[in-house]
């Protein structure tokens, strides 16, 4: 079975080029992305693995995909017609690998089951196209009846291809949810997404506790204060304000805000860890900052040398992506993919720091190699 992890949306916020390199070194058979731009960026990073774009590529760009050895998705309708028309004019034998998506119930894309055979026949007969795969996406792996219905519909589509003599190419339907729940079908490939980053999907219901414990989140978010001061009672904090001190309070300003992917919806609804102690984040989240009330942290007053953990573990306690998701009524996918490019990424392996990525041109570099990597998204005071 081929394992083709999903590295779309900057590898779910972790850094696509760096993560793809680690996955390639770990033996991944291929990668999946959502756009042609993402695929081409990986090629620019030196990633040579097979890449599949999970959405249709604009037909005028199909030739560029073929030249970069990037496979694309096809469904039904106008874009399929235009894709085949585009490849007909290629004079030199260039070939685009195409995976036919089958609509089995997600309601997002693909060709209807009853039209799959006809679409496959057209692709096989089309100049410049090689039918390289057939796939679908499960709507709710935690719902057994719904999932069984989708998988049966997908099997019918595959049988319809075989019935007209179209060789059934690689099939793939299972992503993170099905893999965690253990109901992944025995297809030729799987597409792990969120679990590749050590996070259990938070919308599929209970999973095996041992399996959940074996997954270790890759990303943490840490920051040091740019200011820590004592403020009197009655002092408003941040814009609004929505929080006012009711006593003399020590307030630490962290340079993390909604411009970094720490959303305004977490205003007065989240915590951070400092010295292993949970402290509330108070006041409205600003574009570039959030404030922590550290009044009750034991020991000497918290200062600019203290490290705060907003996502991740510290001294035996932890704040997970699922915890943040529940605080803002979203899911873990959005929490990690929202981390913006201006947060420096620091990559760790057993031997220590192996890479760093920043916005500064020339500052992104890979320092070494390791069997695994952890991403630390760190907000510093090096920006306004």
Taking the C-alpha atoms of residue 182 and residue 180, their distance in angstroms, rounded to an integer, is: 5
SS3 111: strand
12, 55, 197, 239: which one is catalytic?
A: 239
One of 8, 12, 258, 347 is an active-site residue; which one?
A: 8
User: Following CA atoms 86, 89, 92, 96 in sequence, which dihedral angle do they give, to the nearest 10 degrees?
Assistant: 20
Distance from C-alpha of 284 to C-alpha of 295, rounded to nearest angstrom: 18
197 in catalytic set:
no
Question: Is 225 in contact with 254 (CB distance < 8 Å)?
Answer: yes
Residue pair 128/59 in contact (Cβ under 8 Å)? The answer is no
Catalytic (active site) residue 12: no
Residues 362 and 282: beta-carbon distance below 8 Å: no
CB 319 within 8 A of CB 333: no
Pairing of strands 365-366, 352-357: antiparallel
Q: Are 141 and 147 in contact (CB under 8 A)?
A: yes
Enumerate the active-site residues: 8, 239
């Amino acid at each position: 079975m081929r394992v083709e992890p999903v590295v779309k949306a900057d590898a779910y916020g972790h850094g696509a080029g760096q993560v793809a390199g680690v996955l390639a070194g770990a033996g991944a058979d291929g990668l999946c992305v959502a756009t042609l731009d993402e695929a081409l960026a990986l090629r620019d990073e030196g990633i040579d693995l097979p890449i599949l774009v999970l959405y249709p590529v604009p037909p005028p760009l199909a030739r560029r995909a073929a030249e970069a050895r990037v496979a694309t998705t096809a469904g039904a309708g106008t874009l399929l017609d235009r894709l085949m028309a585009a490849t007909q004019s290629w004079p030199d034998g260039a070939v685009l690998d195409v995976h036919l998506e089958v609509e089995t119930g997600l309601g997002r894309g693909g060709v209807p089951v009853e039209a799959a055979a006809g679409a496959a026949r057209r692709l096989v007969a089309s100049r410049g196209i090689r039918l390289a795969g057939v796939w679908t996406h499960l709507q709710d792996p935690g719902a057994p009846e719904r999932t069984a219905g989708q998988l049966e519909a997908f099997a019918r589509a595959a049988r319809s291809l075989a019935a007209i003599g179209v060789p059934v190419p690689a099939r793939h339907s299972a992503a993170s949810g099905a893999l965690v729940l253990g109901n992944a079908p025995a297809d030729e490939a799987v597409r792990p997404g969120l679990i590749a980053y050590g996070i259990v999907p938070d919308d599929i219901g209970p999973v095996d506790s041992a399996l959940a414990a074996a997954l270790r989140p890759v990303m943490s978010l840490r920051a040091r204060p740019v200011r820590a001061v004592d403020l009197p009672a009655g002092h408003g904090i941040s814009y609004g304000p929505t929080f006012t001190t009711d006593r003399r309070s020590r307030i630490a300003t962290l340079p993390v805000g909604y411009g970094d992917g720490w959303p305004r919806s977490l205003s007065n609804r989240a915590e951070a860890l400092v010295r292993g102690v949970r402290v509330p984040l108070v006041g409205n989240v600003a574009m570039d900052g959030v404030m922590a009330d550290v009044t009750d942290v034991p020991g000497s007053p918290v200062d600019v040398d203290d490290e705060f953990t907003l996502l991740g573990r510290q001294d035996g306690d932890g704040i997970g992506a699922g915890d943040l998701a529940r605080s803002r009524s979203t899911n873990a996918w959005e929490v990690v993919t929202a981390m913006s490019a201006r947060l420096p990424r620091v990559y760790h392996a057993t031997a220590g720091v192996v890479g760093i990525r920043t916005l500064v041109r020339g500052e992104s570099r890979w320092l070494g190699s390791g069997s695994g990597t952890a991403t630390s998204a760190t907000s510093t005071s090096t920006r306004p």
